[in-house]
Amino acid sequence: MYDFDYIDLEILYRVRKSKNGISPENISQPDVFTPGIWEYAEKFTTLQEKNLLSKSDEGLFKITKTGMNTFWDSESPLWMNLLKLLRIKPLSDKECAMYLEEPIPAVQQALEMIRKKGYIMMTPLRRDGKLLKMFEILPEGIEQLKTSGKYNFASVKTGDKLIIELEGGEGILYEIIDDLVNPLRMIMTLSKEQVNEYK
């Protein structure tokens, strides 16, 4: 698996959000603390070589299906995409929601679930007079990422409910929605007893 860093994440996120594609010049900002245009150009090229970005004749980069599956894999549950994201760097719940483009309540619920599982830790951080909850992946979370396989989906239709069962018996209830980019909408986390009720 390609070892991502924060610049890779930022590029993939910005390219994913763009409608017509972007160039390295669109991201580079003249700031002493941000990478120069040459470093961004090199990153774009590397991501293209890894088939995460494609380049148009106009020189604009767009995200590929493989690129979408890095952090926005629609077949992965939200908690798994959160672990992939937090492997890059510690982030607040709001930053996680921003990058994954998911509702904050769903992200907070998923973060709390994987925190209880021991995959991540939460550290309070004071920034600009506000108290933020910063989340950081633990070795157990990295191990979970390595061992988790793809989920096999049977034929489903819009409105169907889907339960992803986790180790320990708990689960997450999803609803299939009519959205090609994000066909799963998280409804709620389930206790072991609730999972058994759905069986």
- Distance between CA atoms of residues 158 and 98, nearest Å: 26
Instruction: Provide mean pLDDT across the span 7-27.
Output: 85
Lowest mean pLDDT among 26-30, 153-157, 163-167: 153-157
Q: What angle do CA 17, 21, 182 make, to 5 degrees?
A: 35
Q: What share of the chain is helix, strand, coil (3-state, %, to 5)?
A: 40, 20, 35
Q: Which pTM value belongs to this model?
A: 0.68
Whole-number pLDDT of residue 134: 94
* In-domain check, residue 135: yes
58 has pLDDT over 60: yes
Residue 123 lies in a domain: yes
Mean pLDDT across 43-56: 90
Q: Are residues 38 and 85 in the same domain?
A: no
Alpha helices in the chain (DSSP H): 6-17, 24-27, 37-49, 65-71, 78-86, 93-100, 104-116, 139-147, 192-198
pLDDT at 28: 56
Residue 80, in any domain of the structure: yes
pLDDT at 34: 54
As a whole number of angstroms, the longest Cα–Cα distance in the chain is 57
Q: Sheet holding 130-137: strands in order across?
A: 91-92, 130-137, 120-127
Q: Which two tokens stand for residue 128?
A: 């600009």
Q: Let me know whether 64 and 134 are in one domain.
A: no
User: Over the chain, what is the mean pLDDT?
Assistant: 82
Give the mean model confidence (pLDDT) for residues 189-197: 80
Whether residue 79 lies inside any domain: the answer is yes
At residue 155, the pLDDT reads 46
Least confident of 30-44, 62-76, 147-161: 147-161
- pLDDT at position 188 is 83
Q: What is the CATH number of the domain that holds 171?
A: 1.10.10.10
Looking at the domain assignment, is residue 1 inside a domain? no
Instruction: Tell me which DSSP letter residue 151 carries.
Output: P
Two structure tokens written together for 167: 């180790």
pLDDT value for 97: 95
Number of domains composing the chain: 2
Q: How many Å apart are CA 54 and CA 124, to the nearest integer?
A: 39
- What letter represents residue 86's amino acid? L
Is pLDDT at 152 greater than 50 in this prediction?
Answer: no
Residue 52: give the domain boundaries.
Answer: 6-68
Give per-residue pLDDT as tens, 21-43.
887 777 655 544 455 666 777 88
Mean pLDDT of 135-160: 72
- 23 and 56 housed in the same domain: yes
| Residue 113 covered by a domain | yes
Residues 19 and 84 in one domain: no
Per-residue pLDDT, 38: 67
106 pLDDT above the threshold of 50: yes
Q: Does residue 179 share a domain with residue 83?
A: yes
Could you give the angle at the alpha carbon of 169 between the alpha carbons of 168 and 173, nearest 5°? 130
